[in-house]
Amino acid sequence: MSDNPLQKLYRSKKVFVSLPSRGKYYDSGIKLSADNEIGIMAMTATDEIKLKTPDALFNGEALFELFKSCVPDIVDPREIPVCDIDKLLLAIRMATSGPTIDINSKCPKCKHTEKYEVDLTTIMNSAKDIASDNTITVDGVVIQVRPLTLRNQILAQMDSFYQYRMQQLLNDDSIPDSERAEQFNLILVQAIVLQTSQIADCISHVTLDDDTVVTEKEHIFGWVENMESTTHAKIKKTIETLCDPKMSDKVKIKCAHDECTHEYSTKIDLNPTNFF
């Protein structure tokens, strides 16, 4: 088969951004430029269709495929640390539609609603690098942790939905009390298992005081199930710190009404279903 003469018209990387994770925690691999940035391509028509497909959004496939298409230098999108997700989504939006977005905003003072053009670069550049220290020491035991991943986030969202459906069933008076009690216990167990699994997934390894290094996930899961609450809280707090790039989703607006001109902040919705 001959080379496609249209190949030179294919997408290319249009935006380059640094990542809050600095490219760490991508076990399957990531390719950064010489100045430690990653290249972003614009969305295809197929990407846009998938983002409008409820099932693909619910199970996470739409986001996995979006990152695979637009950020090809990430080998496995499921491994994307939570701290990188919003910045990557912003970069994809900018590569696809330009650096600005139009939003409708109501002035809290005069109640005038107007369309404003917002510069996404300001929001994206507000993201900070996450902490480089990802270890916790408790009673001579050194615990190395990592941020939650896109896969973890999708699983949590799915679990939240199922728990919501269960709560609806529990509020149904037509269901016998014994069945409702059983469903409640099921919800509680699922919530505990999910939280334990997420904490365990974020522990890379544990070094004991005799220098034994534990990496086996089953062993780590069992320990998380049985650790003291104070240790659990320390680990959870460190993981949350690694997940938060402190990127501001607010922009300053000056009311366009001539008799007002009040300045205020408004929030930008980064939900992929509305953002693209």
pLDDT for residue 21: 97
Confidence of residue 157 (pLDDT cuts 50, 70, 90): confident
Residues 20 and 117 in one domain: yes
- Give the residue numbers spanning the domain of 157: 135-243
Residues 17 and 56 in one domain: yes
Residue 58 is predicted with a pLDDT of 63
* pLDDT at residue 211, rounded to an integer: 94
The DSSP result for 45-78, as a single string, is HHHHHHHT-HHHHHSSHHHHHHHHHH-TTBS-GG
| Residue from 192, 195, 190, 189 nearest 148 by CA | 195
Mean pLDDT of the chain: 88
Q: What is the rounded CA–CA span in Å between residue 86 and residue 69?
A: 16
- Tokens, residue 230: 């104070």
How high is the pLDDT of residue 59? Answer: 64
Residue 3 within any structural domain of the chain: no
Q: What is the pTM of this model?
A: 0.85
- Decide if pLDDT at 265 tops 70: yes
Same domain, 167 and 251: no
In this structure, the answer to whether residues 108 and 17 fall within a common structural domain is yes
User: Is pLDDT above 70 for 53?
Assistant: yes
Max Cα distance, the chain (Å): 72
**DSSP 8-class letter at 19:** -
Alpha carbon distances (Å) from 118 to 98, 109, 122, 124, 264: 11, 20, 9, 12, 13
Both 254 and 223 in one domain: the answer is no
